[in-house]
């Protein structure tokens, strides 16, 4: 697996990981209140413009609640979190599909 750290500018925040084998841009988000989600969304979308068509994911510390899942689903962002020694992924529905 090849991974790259993305830094758009020393003055700006950077994403935490780009997994080139999966074309997935990942950002860790240890808080899930509204302001933290908006910030994480802005950073990951800004970094995503530097890649042809990456999928975007937020790495969370706990399972997301309904508000967080709805927010991420609406913005087509994958949620990843640890659960009993493994990582769980919640993929958003494909565009045009209603969950």
HSE-up (13 A, CA, CB side) for residue 77: 29
Residue 95 counted as domain residue: yes
- Locus of tokens 């899942």: 69
- What pLDDT was estimated at residue 12? 59
Tell me, what's the pLDDT at 48?
86
Asked whether residue 14 is domain-assigned, the answer is: no
Structural domain count of the chain: 1
Q: What is the pLDDT along the chain (99 residues), one digit of tens a residue?
A: 455 666 666 665 566 777 778 888 888 888 888 899 998 898 888 888 888 888 999 999 999 999 999 999 999 999 999 999 999 999 987 665 555
39 in a structural domain: yes
Predicted model pTM: 0.79
Q: Which tokens is 39 given?
A: 């910030």
Q: Looking at the domain assignment, is residue 57 inside a domain? A: yes
92 lies in a domain? yes
Determine, yes or no, domain membership for 17.
no
Is residue 87 a part of any domain in this protein?
yes
């Amino acid at each position: 697996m090849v991974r790259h750290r993305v830094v758009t500018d020393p003055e700006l925040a950077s994403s935490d990981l780009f997994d080139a084998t999966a074309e997935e841009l990942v950002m860790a988000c240890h808080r899930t209140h509204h302001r933290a989600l908006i910030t994480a969304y802005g950073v990951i979308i800004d970094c995503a413009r530097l890649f042809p068509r990456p999928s975007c994911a937020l790495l969370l510390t706990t399972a997301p609640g309904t508000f967080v899942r709805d927010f991420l689903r609406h913005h087509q962002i994958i949620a990843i979190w640890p659960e009993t020694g493994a990582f769980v992924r919640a993929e958003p529905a494909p565009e045009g599909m209603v969950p």
